[in-house]
Structure 1
């Protein structure tokens, strides 16, 4: 079976994202969900890496790598953009860790729950179920759907 192109994914994803309020909530909530999901996994070291004494060998980084491989299959330019987004997310998490305000996972859990509530409110307003109810891969499509919109506005081909 041939793989879907990025635009095919975006067309299907857009069906559940027509309402202006839902779209606005997605612009706020999707980046927060991405950041908080990485943050939730950030403190969990990968098996066998404890002796490496590096804060970067964790499940959050593995999630980033797996996501980037998925994006790379769709578009080099979208993957490059998501690499920058991922680097920014890591920067935010490292900066938060350095503040000493509390564990990253606690702040991430709060943000994750609030952002998902926002997503579901948006879909309630839209009157349609979230796309990932049909295909779990749509959880990976949401962030690049937003990025592709930015690219189109800037005239960047992907």
Structure 2
């Protein structure tokens, strides 16, 4: 069995309940985005100075997402494309939200993070199983890929 299939299957074992699945469809993307927003909020001027590039998308969030996409490439090149697109969407959204100045991006992201994790833990309480990342930390990255694989299946795209 391919490694990606084994990871998705193992992740899916603790995500059988319909309510828990629905909660994951909402909360996993929100958590992913909120982490991007939190990392985006770290001052990036030193990084831009080192690289000698003054562009808003040269920041710590972009750098971390490059590493995340490399991880996804190591388990499935086609899923990595979807995750790259979702990551880019998160970066664009973080940039737009930070420009609105309704509240600091880190504060918005922290609020989303807390509420989404409360939702996740509620979903697992309903499921009656612990979150997968308690067993293996890499499942924090498998959660978004698990959702992406359902999108791929619906579109008939092999992963």
TM-score range normalised by the length of the shorter chain: over 0.9
Q: Give the aligned CA root-mean-square deviation in angstroms.
A: 1.7
- Shift of the 91–30 alpha-carbon distance from structure 1 to 2, 3 Å rule, reads same
Q: Deviations over 1:57-79 (max 9, x none)?
A: 33222221111011001111100
TM-score, length-normalised on structure 2?
0.92
Q: Deviations over 1:45-96 (max 9, x none)?
A: 4584253443333322222111101100111110011111011111111111
**Is the aligned partner of 1:109 residue 2:110?**
yes
Instruction: Provide the aligned length of Structure 1 versus Structure 2.
Output: 156
**Is the aligned partner of 1:141 residue 2:136?**
no
Among candidates 7, 12, 33, match of residue 35 of structure 1: 33
Q: Which runs of 5+ in 2 are unaligned?
A: none
Q: Deviations over 1:12-61 (max 9, x none)?
A: 00110000000000000000000000101112145842534433333222
2:69–2:80 CA contact under 8 A, matched in 1? yes
- Counterpart for residue 88 of structure 2: 87
Q: Distance in 1 between matches of 2:12 and 2:122?
A: 17
1:45–1:57 CA contact under 8 A, matched in 2? no
Moved >6 Å (runs of 4+): none
Q: Distance in 2 between matches of 1:54 and 1:101?
A: 22
Q: Distance in 1 between matches of 2:42 and 2:16?
A: 37
Q: Which runs of 5+ in 1 are unaligned?
A: none
SS in 1 for 2:85: helix
TM-score, length-normalised on structure 1?
0.93
